[in-house]
Amino acid sequence: MIEPTKFALRKFVAPEFVFGIDARKLAGRYARNYGARKVLVVSDPGVVAAGWTNDVLVCLREEGVEYAVFSSVTSNPKADEVMKGAELYQREGCNALVAVGGGSPIDCAKGIGIVSANKLDIVEFEGVDKVELPIPPLICIPTTAGSAADVSQFAIIMDARRRVKFAIISKMIVPDIALIDPVTTTSMPAELTACTGMDALCHAIEAYVSTAHSPITDLLALQAIRLITANMLPTMNELDNIVLRGEMLLACLEAGLAFSNASLGAVHAMAHSLGGFVDAPHGECNAILLPYVIEFNFPAAPDRYREVGKAMGLDMGGTAPMDAASVLVAAIVRLNEGAGLTYTLSQLGVGKGVIPELAEIAMHDPCIFTNPRQPRCQDIEAIYEKAL
């Protein structure tokens, strides 16, 4: 008997999470419950300045948990920052981690945990299932609504020496708990709201069309697409609207659970390569590339992309495949324009001469393997060229 594809074996990995207003204030209680003697709090200067890091430190003090702070994390966290954080973790005698921030501090904290447990340089763990020993207890408090690093089995680290962003994918780095609090996202300016929102939208779309999708990830991905399409631009106009912020953070959570289990595709493979070269915001790289990747992928998954369009509120019925592709791509472009994300690769400093190198790196990114249409290197080059 032939098994229906819908019911192919799939596993679903997710941390415990608490979602809602003031979830961040549970950090001390969970640290104590995990037996934390002393935690390393990983954050960045912007999050510290916004006051969210101090909120967590107060909670730790109230529960009698000692801590050290590592806040020297930049956007697109660097391998040497991970190694410096791991050195501080060991020197301070820590036995648990608390990450407060967006994808950069959370991915850095994951890297610190990997190095602390496995005693090797972080670059040794590039790829899938390369982490042998589980990381120490990790509590995540996200302050953006994009990366979903707080619920995923991914960590993206920048190797500045190679000018490459590399992926570490392992269930060993799934956080123990995510404390997901809409209040912490109210400090994001409009531009960051747009970049993180488009990152979450790319997560949802790529998870839905991934060759590793499942009925569970499909549900999460489509609902995330609905929420982001309806709420991203209004949120940019009402930055302190907690209801809108909550909808965007919920979408981020759903998209994160979807892509963590279904993986991603060519947009992210290419964005990782691009981001490593120009050190640009990840969501911005995704936004630039998404329309061109959809054009390339659409013939391989027309029904799935039609469902994406329907989730965005588009009329996708009764149109020829290429017309449907044009409708969807035009809607993505309008969303980018409404969010102010109108850059081209040339404006980011990318010239035609580096495209072969970018394409070669993208072809070796783990995300490329679940893209619905398997590209050749020249296909990836052509997509980059269209985005110039």
Tokens of 47: 């999050």
Q: Is 281 left (phi over 0), alpha (psi -120 to 50) or beta?
A: beta
Q: Which residues contact 77 (CB under 8 A, 6 or more apart)?
A: 104, 105, 107, 108, 111, 156, 157, 158
Distance CA 350, CA 364 (A): 20
- Report which of 165, 65, 160, 146 is spatially closest to residue 106, judged by C-alpha positions: 146
Q: Report the pLDDT value the prediction gives residue 2, as an integer from 0 to 100.
A: 53
Q: Which domains does the chain have, with CATH numbers?
A: 16-185 (3.40.50.1970), 188-387 (1.20.1090.10)
Give me the average pLDDT of each 10-residue run along the chain (388 residues): 71 95 98 97 97 98 98 94 98 98 97 98 96 97 97 95 92 97 97 97 98 97 98 97 98 98 97 90 94 97 96 86 90 97 92 95 96 97 96
Contact at 8 Å (CB) between 23 and 179?
A: yes
Indicate the burial class of 314 (C-beta count within 10 angstroms; 0-12, 13-18, 19 or more): middle
Strand, helix or coil for residue 39: strand
Q: Report the pLDDT value the prediction gives residue 281, as an integer from 0 to 100.
A: 87
DSSP state of 165: E
Q: Report the pLDDT value the prediction gives residue 1, as an integer from 0 to 100.
A: 45
Tokens of 144: 């953006």
Specify the pTM. 0.96
Q: Report the pLDDT value the prediction gives residue 6, as an integer from 0 to 100.
A: 81
Instruction: Identify the bridge partners of residue 159 per DSSP, sorted by sequence position.
Output: 164
Contact at 8 Å (CB) between 148 and 252?
A: yes
Q: Report the pLDDT value the prediction gives residue 280, as an integer from 0 to 100.
A: 84
